[in-house]
Amino acid sequence: MTLIKIKRNSIKRNPNAGRTDYLIAGKEEHTSNPDGSESWHRDVQHVRSLFPEPKWLFEYQNNRVTCNNCGKTFGWKRLESDYLSDFGSSSICPYCKEWDCCEIEFEDIKEVLRENSRRV
Ligand SMILES: [Zn+2]
């Protein structure tokens, strides 16, 4: 079992916490007009989400895991997932394609916050 830890310095409050709709700015496009002027255009997408935005944003460390089948070691972010069927796997080995090739557990953000609040 590998515990994937949360990067402590990546934790930040989500400015959009609790919101279910927000705007996402697309890529800015620059056009040079024939008359010599320039114009900028940016697509803005209105996104509605079924789930409210989480309170915290954070990243996981890229811990290395070892495949139980072929023995290769790689960063867990390279694990592949397949949820096309009801019995999906989120830990498919990128080398030998073995399903559930290793056991990983993600650290719980609530635990980390509790630990941080004890420290202060
Ligand atoms: Zn493998």
CA of residue 91 to ligand 1 center, whole Å: 10
Which residues line ion ligand 1, judged by CB < 5 Å? 67, 69-70, 93, 95-96, 98
86 pLDDT higher than 70: no
CA of residue 79 to ligand 1 center, whole Å: 10
95 pLDDT higher than 60: yes
Amino acid symbol at 43: D
Summarised one tens digit per residue, pLDDT across range 31-56 is 888 888 888 888 888 878 888 889 99
- CB of 56 closer than 8 Å to CB of 109: yes
Token pair in block for residue 54:
């989480």
Cβ neighbour number for residue 6 with a 10 Å cutoff: 19
Token pair in block for residue 105:
């557990």
